[in-house]
């Protein structure tokens, strides 16, 4: 049954609107915003694009005057601060606007790596051993720590702040990397046990009933090259080509895949995800 066309406002980060193409009409652009907007148009919907920006009073007035049937929320930050992603979802809820994606609670839980790991551990979901190093406090390295560790900013995503130098193999390297992240990102640090294994990305759709998509895998074939999804691996095609790194469909034993799917569904529920999400894991 064909769905009735509706009016959809695609809400994006203001800085992602290209000045030369504010209506996202170019084709063959490998950018999420383009894919979503073009697909919605091909489905027959009326699409408007709105960057989330100050003054908020103008946005409130605009949404009240031209109320969409649905807001497709593609925002990730507000004025450069990713911690505000949950507030944008809260803004839409206060206006009683139906929107896509996870709500304020889920975004908060997923944004804070320390809180996320603590919550998953509480629900008996295995995560790497981890340590937290708050900002503006003396760095105290635990004696019972096991190396190597991966050092990450607590609130970033998209592999920001992660390079091969994030993998540290001793207390001095750990201290130096913590200081670097504190200085560069002005936020707490999470240092987690480095886990050897295959790296999978599991997409999930739904709410009451969940659909788990086939797993994707990032393959790191070179022992001299990157061994985890650094910022360069994720976003730099030339860097991936240099080290023969590939994103590919994962081949997994059916029984193992059932276990992976079961765990990912549990993660999805525990973190209060909505509509769609992705769970990253390593298979050892």
pLDDT score at 3: 75
Which domains are seen in the chain, by residue range? 7-100 (3.40.50), 129-193 (3.30.1490), 198-283 (3.30.470.20)
pLDDT score at 27: 74
Per-residue pLDDT tens, the chain, 284 aa: give them: 567 899 999 999 999 999 999 999 987 777 899 999 999 999 999 999 999 999 999 999 999 999 999 999 999 999 989 999 999 999 999 999 999 999 999 999 999 999 999 999 999 999 999 999 999 999 999 988 999 999 999 999 999 999 999 999 999 999 999 999 999 999 999 999 999 999 999 999 999 999 999 999 999 998 888 999 999 999 999 999 999 999 999 999 999 999 999 999 999 999 999 999 999 999 99
What is the DSSP secondary-structure string of the chain? -PPPP-EEEEEEEGGGS-TT-TT---SS--SHHHHHHHHHHHTT-EEEEEEE-S-HHHHHHHHHHS--SEEEE----BTTBGGGHHHHHHHHHHTT--BSS--HHHHHHHH-HHHHHHHHHHTT-----EEEE-TTS-----TT--S-EEEEESS--TTTT--GGGEE-SHHHHHHHHHHHHHHH-S-EEEEE---SEEEEEEEEESSSEEEPPPEEEE---SSS--S--HHHHH-HHHHHHTT-EEEEPP--HHHHHHHHHHHHHHHHHTT--EEEEEEEEE-
pLDDT score at 216: 98
């Amino acid at each position: 049954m064909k769905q009735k066309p509706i009016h959809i406002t695609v809400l994006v980060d203001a800085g992602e609107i290209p000045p030369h193409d504010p209506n996202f009409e170019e084709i063959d652009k490998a950018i999420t915003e383009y894919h979503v907007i073009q697909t919605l148009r091909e489905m027959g919907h009326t699409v408007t694009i709105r960057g989330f920006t100050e003054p908020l009073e103008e946005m409130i007035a605009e949404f009240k005057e031209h109320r969409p049937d649905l807001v497709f929320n593609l925002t990730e930050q507000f004025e450069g601060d990713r911690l505000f992603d949950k507030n944008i979802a809260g803004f839409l809820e206060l206006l009683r606007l139906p929107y896509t994606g996870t709500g304020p609670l889920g975004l908060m839980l997923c944004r804070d790596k320390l809180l996320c790991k603590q919550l998953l551990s509480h629900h008996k979901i295995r995560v790497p051993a981890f340590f937290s190093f708050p900002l503006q406090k003396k760095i105290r390295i635990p004696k019972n720590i096991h190396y190597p560790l991966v050092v990450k900013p607590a609130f970033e995503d998209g592999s920001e702040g992660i390079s091969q130098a994030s993998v540290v193999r001793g207390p001095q390297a750990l201290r130096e990397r913590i200081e670097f992240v504190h200085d560069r990102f002005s936020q707490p640090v999470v240092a987690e046990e480095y886990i050897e294994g295959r790296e999978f990305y599991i997409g999930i759709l739904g709410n009451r009933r969940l659909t788990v998509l086939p797993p994707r895998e990032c393959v790191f074939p070179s022992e001299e090259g990157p061994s985890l999804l650094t910022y360069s691996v994720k976003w730099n095609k030339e860097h991936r080509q240099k080290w023969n790194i590939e994103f590919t469909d994962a081949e997994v034993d059916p029984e193992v895949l059932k276990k992976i799917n079961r765990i990912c569904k549990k993660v999805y529920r525990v973190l209060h995800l909505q509509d769609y999400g992705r769970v990253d894991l390593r298979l050892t």
